[in-house]
Structure 1
Amino acid sequence: MQNPDAALTAVPIQTLSMPPRPGDEILHVEDVSRGFSKTQGELLVLDDVNLTLCEGEIVGMLGRSGSGKSTLLRIIAGLIEPTGGEVTYMGKPLNGPAEGVAMVFQTFALFPWLTVLQNVEAGLEALGVGASERRKRALAAIDLIGLDGFENAYPRELSGGMRQRVGFARALVVDPTLLLMDEPFSALDVLTAENLRTDLLDLWTQGRMPIKSVLIVTHNIEEAVFMCDRILVLSSNPGRVIAEIKVPFKHPRNRLDPAFRALVDDIYAKMTARQTDEATRLGLELGSRLPPVSTNLLAGLIETLAAAPYHGRADMPEIARSLQLEVDDLFPIAEVLQYLGFADVREGDIFLTLQARTFAEFDTQERKMMFAEHLLRHVPLAARIRKVLNERPGHRAPRVRFEQELEDFLSDNAAQQTLDAVINWGRYGEIFSYNDKTEIFSLEDVES
């Protein structure tokens, strides 16, 4: 029996005479925004987003956490409404879920009590397709995606790659015009993800899938350059399209091609340039969103960059490949190091400051003291917590006090993540103590 994680079969749902070619407009997003009301005004997740999808192209959306990529995808799918702007699908305003739009999720989203065949049939059943036609189309989709022989298996019996193939089959079985993919490979191991990407691209370039256009959300820059015809880069907080990049390479693409590597480097530079500009212009304020990066990761990156062969400076694509980190992993670490005055990020490179090089040479206690100094100087929330504790007679304060202040500026989830990040950093720097059970900050066991 063939390995379903190794290759796709040759049974098409629909046979096309040639690969998809650029053609008519399928989707148009105009001035779309999505916001939530907060005490300090509207919190924008997306702001003034514009994009167009045409027949015969794969378009990728790149952005760090907080760029609203998944929110935009759900607006395009008709699952949530924008608070401003308009989405037009096949020439008509989009109002609710649209016929001919299918989505593949990151987390497989299979029904565990249904077999592979039943999972694939589920969408057709919801559309009222008869049992005989349902089974015929589902079997064809299962064959196409390389799972023939596993029709009666349950999700628990399948590997991660096989489960994601079921997700693709379920999306393709409804013969969609537009396929939306929300980080569909991020939950898979590196080899399985690469194999599935290549197989799907083979089906696409051979014209063996019913879809006419693909929009994929990813945080993997190399994946975007490997798969897409165009790449949209989104800024964060709020999400805006800050760059549109045409990928000039034909399929199949060679990741080791110097031109391929140069484009990857260029995208890193664009994304880090925006990050640097925002950090320089805005700095950190009390209501700033902070990524939950552990002090172990911060210290680890400093140590790596301080040692040979980097000696304090590294190309971000190179360090990402070396450490097997993706955008959503590497950028937050670099961002926090920059906020704390330990690094400078510009033009796709990261440079350690003199303080960071000194930090790398210090012992544990000296590192803690230096980190505490930088934390109180550069992160207003940390300084705010310490100030409140110093001023209170009992040197104690509840978590909810600071969380409510943050919620005036940030979403509830962002406020919680930001406070958790500062708690982690404050504990490491020994500027305060925090009891997770009572949710109380204090200066107990901390020299005041």
Structure 2
Amino acid sequence: MTTELLTVTGLTKSYAGADGELPVLAGIDLSVHEGEIVALLGKSGSGKSTLLRCLAGLIPPSSGTVSYRGAPLRGANPGTAMVFQTFALLPWLTVQQNVEVGLEARGVAPAARREAALTAIDLIGLDGFESAYPKELSGGMRQRVGFARALVVEPDVLLMDEPFSALDVLTAENLRGELLELWESGEFPTKAIVVVTHNIEEAVLLADRVIVLGARPYGTIRATYDIPLPRPRDRDAADFTKLIDAVYRTMTGREQGAPLPPHGLRSPARRTPANTPLPAASVDGLSGLAEILRRHDGHLDLADLSDELGLEVDDLLPLVDALELLGFATVDGGKVTLTDTGLTFSAADVRESKQIFATAVRDLPLIHLIVTSLRNSVDGGLQAGFFRDVLAHHYTGEQVARQLETATGWGRYAELYSYDAVHEEYRLDPAV
């Protein structure tokens, strides 16, 4: 029996919002054992990064417990270290100084932390760059510094929040491979890894166990997959492809019989901008996908579609979500099928397309909020800051920007309102 390093029991996480508590995670139970890599997989908004920060003790759960080696956390987790997506290096410090930051915070003597830092730098393949500053390094090298900084404190569990997503494809593939080689070599100074990703193939390639989080309307565990394949894993092997397909279906399907969330966190009956976010999809993007589906008799398996287009399934998910939200498509077990309205939309000319689109978006909560607010304004115009303030109760700053970007594009195409980017002002279309 392997040692249980991290244990999560009945975890929920909510944030205060204008309409009360805004749930992000609900009823999470999981454990992380010595000797395993666990991937937390989910679409944007599923709460996977929030869960990772709860494991690190950086944010407390609203209810439930997070334990490290059986002891409930009362603050930062002493047995973990974090690698971030955005490198998070201090630009005025050298590589060695950046790596030593954690040790210095723990009060380690200068000589000891210098020795430990140089060992970690060598381990991660940055020997010779000790005196370089972050601005002198490529993206891949900067992320190596992030790995070295985390590993130098020799945590029991290394937590990684989409560590390869900011890198180009080749650099990410190289760094991912080197990380696995280190893990398999036995030289890795950590007993377990938890990695957050939205990339299905990356999760199956890296992990011993993949935990899929759903995001409607908050994060719950939808499925757990054990990955028994030996490393290095062959992407072309039948067993690998079978696992990829199974996870695809969970990520894209709308499964029945999912367990109900804890009492008090049930989905509200009324749709609001908080519980019905707009997918990050442009009108051109979703129109293009609808047209491709029409050419395939109105339906196609998402995995086959991604292969045909040479894209990751993850890149298509926002477009699929948009078609479904608009009532243009349904998703069942990974198969996307256009509805009658979707078929009409995909074949329509520009004028008819705009009319169909306007009917579909008019009642979406954020679009409805913008239109109604503009109607009730003195002169039919409002500053974007008004809507940013409203959404800030429910979303991060980055998420607010994405929501308004999508709403702006959709509302303009539907000719519901215009937007002046110079003055950051929305104005109601005279015909509305």
1:435 to 382, 403, 420: 420
Change (3 A) 1:113 1:402: closer
The correspondence of residues 337-376 of structure 1 with structure 2, limited to 5 A, is 337-376=323-362
**CA distance in 1 between partners of 2:388 and 2:117 (Å):** 49
User: 2: distance between equivalents of 1:176 and 1:208?
Assistant: 13
Counterpart code for 1:317: A
User: Who is 2:159 aligned against?
Assistant: 180
CA contact (8 A) 2:255 2:333 kept: no
**Paired position in structure 2 for 1:274:** 254
Matches within 5 A, 1:277-356: 285-287=271-273, 288-307=276-295, 310-323=296-309, 325-326=311-312, 329-356=315-342
Q: Alpha carbons of 1:201 and 1:393: their partners in 2 closer, same or farther (altered >3 Å)? A: closer
Note if 1:240 corresponds to 2:240: no
Mapped contact 2:68–2:79 kept (Cα < 8 A) = no
Instruction: State how far apart, in whole Å, the 1-side matches of 2:244 and 2:176 are.
Output: 18
Q: Which residue of 2 aligns with 1:52?
A: 31
Between the aligned residues of both structures, percent identity stands at: 48
- Report the counterpart of residue 223 of structure 1 in structure 2: 202
Please give the per-residue CA displacement for 1:9-30, whole angstroms capped at 9, x wherever unaligned.
xxxxxxxxxxxxx711101011
- Kept in 2: contact 1:46–1:240 (CA 8 A): yes
1:274-329 deviations in Å (ceiling 9; x for gaps) = 38999xx989823322223221221222233334xx44322223333444544653
Structure 2 residue aligned with 1:119: 98
Alpha-carbon contact 2:11-2:63 (below 8 Å) kept? yes
Q: Match for 1:162 among 117, 138, 141?
A: 141
Deviation of 1:447 (Å): 2.9
Q: 1:168 to 1:367 in 2, by over 3 A?
A: same
User: Distance between the aligned counterparts of 2:294 and 2:100, measured in 1?
Assistant: 55
* Cα drift, residue 357 of structure 1: 3.4
Superposed CA deviations along residues 81-128 of structure 1, whole A, max 9, x for unmatched, are 111111110221212223231111111111112222222122222222
Counterpart amino acid of residue 282 in structure 2: S
Q: Which amino acid aligns with 2:60?
A: E
Aligned mate of 2:244, from 264, 278, 285:
264
Structure 2 partner of 1:207: 186
- Matching residue of 2:431: 447
Given the alignment of the two structures, is residue 193 of structure 1 paired with residue 184 of structure 2, yes or no?
no
Amino acid at match of 2:327: G
What TM-score does the superposition give when structure 1 sets the normalisation length? 0.85
Quick one: distance in 2 between partners of 1:216 and 1:321?
25
Q: Per the alignment, do residues 77 and 391 of structure 1 end up closer, same or farther by CA in structure 2, a change over 3 Å counting?
A: closer
> What secondary structure is seen at the aligned counterpart in 2 of 1:274?
coil
Deviation >6 Å, runs of 4+: 275-278, 281-284
Assess, with a 3 A threshold, how the Cα gap between structure 1 residues 194 and 103 changes in structure 2: closer, same or farther: same
Given the alignment of the two structures, is residue 80 of structure 1 paired with residue 59 of structure 2, yes or no? yes
Instruction: Report the CA distance shift for 1:388/1:159 in structure 2 as closer, same or farther (over 3 A).
Output: closer
Q: Match of 2:222, SS? A: strand
Q: CA RMSD in A?
A: 2.7
Q: Distance in 2 between matches of 1:150 and 1:411?
A: 39
Q: Deviations over 1:51-81 (max 9, x none)?
A: 1001000001011111111111111111111
Change (3 A) 1:277 1:311: farther
In terms of mean alpha carbon deviation, does 256-265 or 349-358 score higher?
A: 349-358
Q: Distance in 2 between matches of 1:164 and 1:401?
A: 38
Taking the aligned partners of 1:334 and 1:194, their CA distance within structure 2 comes to 27
Aligned residue pairs total 420
Residues in 2 aligned to 1:436 and 1:277: alpha-carbon distance in whole angstroms? 45
C-alpha distance in structure 2 between counterparts of 1:243 and 1:146, whole Å: 36
Match of 1:38 in 2: 17
CA contact 1:100–1:174 (8 Å) conserved in 2:
no
Letter in 2 for 1:246: D
Query: For each residue in 1:254-289, what CA deviation from the matched residue of structure 2 results, as whole angstroms up to 9, or x when unmatched?
Result: 1111221111111111122238999xx989823322
Under a length normalisation based on structure 2, what TM-score does the superposition of the two structures give? Answer: 0.88
Instruction: Please name the residue that 1:424 is paired with.
Output: 409
The answer to which of 282-291 and 329-338 deviates more is: 282-291
Which amino acid letter does the alignment assign opposite residue 423 of structure 1? Answer: T
Relative to structure 1, the CA distance from residue 207 to residue 342 in structure 2 (aligned partners, 3 Å threshold; closer, same or farther) is same
Gaps of 5+ in 1: 1-21
Which residue identity lines up with residue 44 of structure 2 in the other structure? S
Are the counterparts in 2 of residues 32 and 46 from structure 1 also a CA contact under 8 Å?
A: yes
Is residue 254–residue 333 contact of structure 2 (8 Å, CA) maintained in 1?
no
Contact 1:298 1:333 in 2 (8 A): yes
Q: Residues 305 and 313 of structure 1 are in contact (CA less than 8 Å); yes or no, is this contact kept in structure 2?
A: yes
Shift of 1:411: 3.6
Partner of 2:45: 66
Query: Contact 1:284 / 1:339 at 8 angstroms: preserved in 2?
Result: no
User: Which amino acid is the alignment partner of residue 279 of structure 2?
Assistant: P
Higher RCO (CA-CA < 8 Å; seq separation 6+): 1
**3-state DSSP class of the match of 2:90?**
coil
The 8 Å contact of residues 254 and 331 in structure 2, kept in 1 or not, is answered as no
Offset at residue 349 of structure 1 (A) = 1.7
Change (3 A) 1:322 1:118: farther
Q: Distance in 1 between matches of 2:337 and 2:427?
A: 36
What is the DSSP-based 3-state SS (H/G/I as helix, E as strand, rest coil) of the residue aligned with 1:153? coil
